[in-house]
Structure 1
Amino acid sequence: MKTVSSIVENYIKTKPFLLNALSLGIINLTSLSRNIMVELESEFGKEVKQGAVVMALKRLTEELDFRLNHKINKVIKNIGEITVRSALTDYTFAASDTVLNKQADLITDIDTFSDIFYTSSRGVNETNIVVSNTVNHLVDKHFANEKLIQKLENLASITVKLPKENIVVPGIYYFIFQRLAWEGIIINEVISTSNEFTILVSENEVDVAFKVIKDLKN
């Protein structure tokens, strides 16, 4: 059964930035309720009292303050080492039966270099490889016969070590990526393990992205 509270909550959940602003308590609930009345009444199928919407928003704001602020902030404040690497190239190849063998050959060659960044991930239809640009020639050589979907150069990586609690608290990545989105940071790739993640951004934006993540701890 639809209720005013459930309709209000479902509406707010579809507006990520509005959701965050509510959690921070920086929105006038009366003005917000007035602006969304038409959409809520359309969803509810009958007239809705503005006072009921305001009360639903108030309850939701209090819940969000706990769910999105207290729990997440506790984890965010314990973010560990933040590592930045520059001069990276991001390759995306179409998946094929020969890609893995090409990767093995590439890794063998890369092992002869010191201090080289290398990571890869395999999706259903694509294989992604990120390397230091000093070994681009090796990727180009070994994957010459593979279908190149995209090649992005002049990228930088930011690797963030997360506390172990990150796997049991929902919204950690949402919280971080939303802050980056607020700053207009374009994330080219996201690579993650259980307790750390790496994002790839343009070298022109890496300083801002690093500051955003670092400032989250404060």
Structure 2
Amino acid sequence: MITIPQAVETIIKEQPFISEALAEGLINVSALARKIKPDIEKILMKEIKHGAIVMALNRLNPQVEISLNRGIDKMISMLGDIIVRSDLSDYTYKNSDTLIQCHSKVFEMIAPHQDTFYTLVRGVHESNLVISSLHTNLVDEYFTHEVLHLKKENLSAITLKLHESNTQVPGFYYYILKAIAWEGINIAEVISTSYEFTVLVNDEDVDRAFSVLNKLRKKK
């Protein structure tokens, strides 16, 4: 049988921003209790007193305490350079038996150009390709027979150089993405390797996004 505290914890876990604000004492607990009361009653299938929910919220130890997490603070303090690349184009293609061959042809052509931004990520059903707009003619030429799902232009990439311990810190990527989301900046794509984390944003948002990430690094 699910208890009131368990139901409250379930609801709060589904809303990490609220959980974080609750951990920092930034939320009116009584008002939050009124807001989630219908959801709690739906889970428990009975009417619940407002005071019981308030009590459960006060006793709750939020699971997402990013701002208080020493591991994340340490990880942020060890961030390396922030690299910005602008004027990029983003393609999404349906996977096919010939897609990798097309990729190889484009990659061979741009290999001598060390400053060119180029990534290809293959998913289960589709592949995502990001390239400097200067060379989109190569994509249009060699991928002409592939099924294009989506093309986005006028994008910029912001790449964070990560410390090797980043994979051992729960919530690290959430911390980065949350900071960008709170500024109302839309993320077009996310590209990640072991020691690099890249977000693609619209060109007009790149200055704000860079400022957000740079402030994160400096305040630690």
TM-score (norm 1): 0.90
Shift of 1:47: 4.2
Measured at CA, do residues 75 and 114 of structure 1 come closer, stay the same or move farther in structure 2, by a change above 3 Å? closer
For residues 26 and 108 of structure 2, what CA distance do their matches in structure 1 show?
Answer: 54
* Structure 1 alignment gaps of length 5 or more: none
For residues 62 and 184 of structure 1, what CA distance do their matches in structure 2 show?
Answer: 24
Q: State the partner residue of 1:69.
A: 68
Q: State the partner residue of 1:113.
A: 113
**1:34-61 C-alpha deviation (Å, 9 max, x unpaired):** 3322332332233434443223222335
Q: State the partner residue of 2:176.
A: 176
Shift of 1:62: 6.1
Shift of 1:195: 2.5
Measured at CA, do residues 180 and 52 of structure 1 come closer, stay the same or move farther in structure 2, by a change above 3 Å? same
- Taking the TM superposition and a 5 Å limit, the aligned residue runs for 1:125-140 are 125-140=125-140
Measured at CA, do residues 148 and 42 of structure 1 come closer, stay the same or move farther in structure 2, by a change above 3 Å? closer
For residues 80 and 68 of structure 2, what CA distance do their matches in structure 1 show?
Answer: 19
Q: Is the 8 A contact 1:88 1:131 kept in 2?
A: yes
For residues 62 and 106 of structure 1, what CA distance do their matches in structure 2 show?
Answer: 48
Task: Give the total of aligned pairs.
Answer: 217
SS of equivalent to 1:150: strand
SS of equivalent to 2:73: helix
Measured at CA, do residues 33 and 177 of structure 1 come closer, stay the same or move farther in structure 2, by a change above 3 Å? same
For residues 8 and 214 of structure 2, what CA distance do their matches in structure 1 show?
Answer: 34
Q: State the partner residue of 1:30.
A: 30
Q: Percent identity?
A: 46
Q: State the partner residue of 2:48.
A: 48
Q: State the partner residue of 1:92.
A: 92
SS of equivalent to 1:156: strand
SS of equivalent to 1:30: helix
For residues 70 and 78 of structure 1, what CA distance do their matches in structure 2 show?
Answer: 15
Q: State the partner residue of 1:196.
A: 196
Q: State the partner residue of 2:156.
A: 156
Residue type of the alignment partner of 1:20: E
Query: Are residues 1:213 and 2:213 paired?
Result: yes
Residue type of the alignment partner of 1:197: F
Q: State the partner residue of 1:17.
A: 17
Q: Is the 8 A contact 2:119 2:130 kept in 1?
A: yes
For residues 165 and 9 of structure 2, what CA distance do their matches in structure 1 show?
Answer: 27
SS of equivalent to 2:93: strand
TM-score (norm 2): 0.89
Shift of 1:24: 2.6
Q: Is the 8 A contact 1:25 1:61 kept in 2?
A: no
Runs of 4+ in 1 over 6 A off after TM superposition: none
Give RMSD over aligned pairs: 2.0
For residues 93 and 31 of structure 1, what CA distance do their matches in structure 2 show?
Answer: 46
Measured at CA, do residues 108 and 39 of structure 1 come closer, stay the same or move farther in structure 2, by a change above 3 Å? closer
For residues 160 and 49 of structure 1, what CA distance do their matches in structure 2 show?
Answer: 47
Measured at CA, do residues 36 and 114 of structure 1 come closer, stay the same or move farther in structure 2, by a change above 3 Å? closer
Shift of 1:188: 1.1
Q: State the partner residue of 2:6.
A: 6
